[in-house]
Structure 1
Amino acid sequence: MSAPSAASATPATAAPTPAQLLDFVTRSAADAELIASLPLDPEGRTWLRLEGPGGSEAWLIGWPPGTGTGWHDHAESVGAFATAAGTLKENSLAVRIPTSAWKSLELAEDLDRERVLATGEGRAFGQHHVHEVLNESIEQHAVSVHAYYPPLPLIRRYSRTGPILRLEDVEQPEDWQ
């Protein structure tokens, strides 16, 4: 299954920019037929892989009430996501963190950022963006579209207790594809 392609706007050899990824996810999130094609599970997240623009990796994701990603980053990939149904909350850090040679960091004050993304809203982000995405509704599914370029080389998962961010796991593509 594929979503609308931005290939005509992006030459095959050019890497898509965060703005182009945001355009793709926003247009895809508005595609009612695409959104309706995602099977929703009352217990766990569901997803379909999409064809993203310019060789990017894209996903349509269903979020049951009360689910989230936990703190993570997408390594060297830039990305974007848009809410297609429901409301999602993103907690993020307003600083890049070192990408290696550490197991835990104590974060300075005032680095936390929060965004609420209602249906039709999206955001783009750069490399090493640390965040978590949540569906805080207690009764409504949320659906979103995500795109990353280059395709995700890995995902680093973190735990967070107050100001302490701890690296817990590094997932490889074979772990989620």
Structure 2
Amino acid sequence: MSHPTPTHPLNAPTAPVSPADFPAAAARSAPSGAPTAAALLDFVRRTAADQALVDSLPLDPEGRTWVRLEGPGGSEAWLIGWPPGTGTGWHDHAESLGAFATARGTLTENALAVRLPASGWKTLELADGLDRSRRLGEGGSRAFGRHHVHEVLNESPDTHAVSVHAYYPPLPLIRRFSRTGAVLRLEQVERPEDWQ
């Protein structure tokens, strides 16, 4: 199934990521019974390795496709197909922890190594040295903490990518940004009703 843009649901080596590699905010314990970043990472890795599930995702040559999955402990989870040359644009996931794993192809994550203010701004000038980029090939995975600002891209000119994403708590909102050089501008705030 194809969905409109902007849409919900996303260079280190593709070696496994250990909990020691998580940002401190992602490694903190969640409320009692809630999944931690480590649990979300384990879920996306296991799910991305399920070849039958990955193969069941319908792929569209023009737009991203996705299927909602049952995530651990009440988390929100998605299986997402990425046609060549597609991406999310810059965004964050508000107060949610997250993780994603590449099941097929290669995804690039560009991220900012800074926590942005939760509210009260429209435009920020970013300091030098905040950009991080990692390539996640098949089996590569990543966990992140609250207010993590990133964009996820399939930069391949000819190969679909497929990935699994999980967030806890389920996403209350997504802030979307535009970026010109060092200037980051808040463009839109999406709520669950905008992508369901």
Query: Please, what TM-score do these two structures have when normalized by structure 2?
Result: 0.84
Tell me, in whole angstroms, the C-alpha distance in 2 between the residues paired with 1:176 and 1:125. 22
Q: Indicate which of 71, 87, 91 corresponds to 1:68.
A: 87
- Partner of residue 9, structure 1: none
2:73 corresponds to 1:54: yes
Deviation of residue 102 (structure 1)? 0.1
**Post-superposition offset of 1:156:** 0.2
Percent of aligned pairs with the same amino acid: 78
Structure 2 residue runs of 5 or longer lacking an equivalent are 1-31
Q: Counterpart of 1:27 in 2: which secondary structure?
A: helix
SS at match of 1:95: coil
Aligned residues: 166
What do residues 33-79 of structure 1 show as CA deviations (whole Å, max 9, x unaligned)? 11011000000000000000000000000000000000000000000
Match of 1:92 among 111, 114, 130: 111
Note if 1:40 corresponds to 2:55: no
Alignment pair present for 1:172 and 2:191: yes
Name the structure with the higher strand share: 1
Q: SS at the partner of 2:53? A: helix
- Opposite residue 89 of structure 1, the aligned amino acid is T
Equivalent residue, structure 2, for 1:14: 33
What amino acid is the match of 1:16? P
Does residue 83 in structure 1 map to residue 108 in structure 2? no
| Aligned equivalents of 1:16, 1:116: Cα separation in 2 | 26
Q: Which runs of 4+ in 1 moved over 4 A?
A: none
Give the structure-1-normalised TM-score. Answer: 0.93
Q: How large is the Cα RMSD of the aligned pairs?
A: 1.0
C-alpha deviation, 1:149, in angstroms:
0.1
Q: Deviations over 1:102-153 (max 9, x none)?
A: 0000000000000000000100000000000000000000000000000000
